[in-house]
Amino acid sequence: MEKQALPASSCSLVLLEETKKNPLLLSNGAGYPPAAANGSLVPLAAGPGSGGGTAGACGGPDRKAVPVPGPGYPERETWTRQMDFMMSCVGFAVGLGNVWRFPYLCYKNGGGVFLIPYLLIVFLGGIPIFFLEIALGQFMKAGSINVWNIAPLFKGLGYSSMVIVFFCNTYYIMVLAWGFYYLIKSFNSTLPWSTCDNEWNTPSCIEIFRHQDCNNGSIANVTISGNMTCAELANAQSPIIEFWERKVLNISSGLGDIGEFNWELTLCLMAVWVMVYFCVWKGVKSTGKIVYFTATFPYVVLIILLVRGVTLPGAYDGIMYYIKPDWSKLGEAQVWIDAGTQVFFSYAIGLGALTALGSYNRFNNDCYKDAFVLALINSGTSFFAGFVVFSILGFMAAEQGVDISQVAEIGPGLAFIAYPKAVSLMPAAPLWAALFFFMLLLLGLDSQFVGVEGFVTGILDLLPVKPHYRYKREISVAVCCFLCFIIDLSMVTQAGMYVFQLFDYYSASGMTLLWQAFWECIVVAWVYGADRFMDDVARMIGYRPFFWMKWCWSFITPCVCMGIFVFHLVNYKPLTYNNVYVYPWWGEVIGWCMALSSMLCIPVSLLYKLVRAKGTFKERWAHLTTPVWGAHHLEYMAPDIKSLSSLSAGADDNKVIIFESVM
């Protein structure tokens, strides 16, 4: 007797349940399955006997809906509590960039005027892409590479972000090594950067400046301070600057003069990498706990430093220099370039780490609200840290009798010159110094280990789960840390600061982040579809985000990114150190190679996939831009399957709908 055929809706739901148990019913192998009109569902064409009996999960004898062997992928782990995700994002995005990079850019660009382009770009570019990356990770449940299964042709975006975050992980940790070095030196009864009687000090070192006694030019040759005349006092240096340049960096004459290793810094670097390893090796379950301390304690110290800073003489002038804009600066392209660069750098956009953090969220987490809260915390911390820094810069300017713009060297040394000066003026200076540099270490540490987590997550998503890969996370993290440490050895030489600045200027800021952000918006808004992704977000969080997001992804943010990118190219200037040392041509070549190593991943990968595919260009494009869904999307799409009940059993148009797996 002939078996009775099940209705189409029953077949679909049975296949849905079986696919939940074995999500590898379809393999994304050499041949592409035909895609549905919207790219969300993949119809499996019925065979000649489809209208009759059932086999397996409703298919006829000729139906090919059978499990295909393939690598197994376990259910993705999630945060123990949602607050773990929030604190991890705060720890990663709020870091040293907020404390020394933001005030440094304000200082460089004339003070408070920098806040205008900064806030404008935050709303036009920062928040939209910040939300896009978190939502994309949460929706696709994948790291920085596999998240672009949403449009596989552009998977080069994932490789590009992996290159950027690798470079960032490599050089960023040097700031932690310097901070750890200062922390160790803080455990002395007298801080080594507060006196001029150390072996590294020069005869030009002076602890107390008395410029006010030299205001009368007629006494230029009169001895004012110790054995120094007023003329000599003009070229004098603080012991803090000499400690930084002559002891910590022991800086050489240029990039080609490598000099010798600083073994003290090498040991500090090794210790910091060991700490990073043990923060990351067990995954988000442990990382989510550590950030509760590393992300919150720095705020306590910043408040204490602000209270102390505003009580110092000259603090008012420093703060006014910070908040009073120089309107003429708005016409300079460099101000806008620095604002865009800082937003993308401090919001950690384009690095893939936000995507990795979002991938561990529950599918229905309200990431839209989270994005705004995190953006407020990030920019608020930058603005708040500026008051701390400029109150201290104002004091230092008053003490030395110079303009605020001449107080500190331009560069990352601001955190190691202005802040140590502040703590050295407090009672029980070694205690405050240890507290401050412990805070600096924590600020950078959580940013560093979350960056490593993002890189390792992207790598692990590419590897199948096998029994003998039991310790693959621990091994992957160890290999990553060791490789970065080997590269970092070039930064603990006498030419280390030149190498550090080369990485900072070319590899993980400026053009690379803008290029990455531009293509992220283009792919989601124009290849996948902005309205379509807004619908996906609505299905996750329960409501549709404000239409401003769609406009930003589609038009405003790409234009902002590309505009600043073009300005960056047009106004490009050779890299210098302290506005004195100009990098040699081969140094710039190395820098451009680092920048292009990430930027070229996108077009090269795109062209490679198109050339390797078969069919006409239109067919290749259709196949390569069809999303590759994961097993968790079965529940997401389940309500759509119920609409299939209107199909009549045995009809020619009857198609059983199933989903592609991640691989």
With beta carbons less than 8 A apart as the criterion, state whether 393 and 408 touch.
yes
Q: Which residues contact 83 (CB under 8 A, 6 or more apart)?
A: none
Instruction: Measure the CA–CA gap between 295 and 267, rounded to whole angstroms.
Output: 25
Any binding-site annotation on 91?
A: yes
Any binding-site annotation on 346?
A: yes
Instruction: Measure the CA–CA gap between 428 and 426, rounded to whole angstroms.
Output: 6
Any binding-site annotation on 98?
A: yes
Instruction: Measure the CA–CA gap between 219 and 199, rounded to whole angstroms.
Output: 32
Determine the distance from the C-alpha atom of residue 395 to the mean position of all C-alpha atoms in its chain, rounded to a whole number: 33
Nearest 5°: CA angle at 184, between 180 and 189?
145
Output helix, strand, coil percentages for the chain, rounded to the nearest 5. Answer: 65, 5, 35
Residue 135 is which amino acid? A
What does the block give as tokens for 333?
């392209």
With beta carbons less than 8 A apart as the criterion, state whether 319 and 100 touch.
no
Q: For the packed helices 367-400 and 297-310, what is the interaxial angle rounded to 10 degrees? A: 30
Backbone conformation region of residue 120, classed left if phi is above 0, alpha if psi is from -120 to 50, else beta: alpha
Residue 164 is which amino acid? I
Any binding-site annotation on 447?
A: yes
* Alpha helices per DSSP H over 94-228: 96, 102-108, 115-121, 127-140, 156-185
Nearest to 457 by CA among 203, 153, 161, 96: 161
Any binding-site annotation on 257?
A: no
Nearest to 357 by CA among 295, 283, 272, 290: 283
Any binding-site annotation on 93?
A: yes
Instruction: Measure the CA–CA gap between 227 and 526, rounded to whole angstroms.
Output: 70
Long-range contacts, 420-424 (Cβ 8 Å, 24+): 420/182, 420/191, 420/193, 420/240, 420/243, 421/238, 421/240, 421/392, 421/396, 422/305, 422/308, 422/309, 422/312, 422/392, 422/395, 423/191, 423/305, 424/191, 424/193, 424/194, 424/240
With beta carbons less than 8 A apart as the criterion, state whether 404 and 394 touch.
yes
- Annotated binding residues, written as ranges, equal 91, 93-94, 98, 346, 378, 443, 446-447
- Annotated binding residues for Na(+), written as ranges, equal 91, 93-94, 98, 346, 378, 443, 446-447
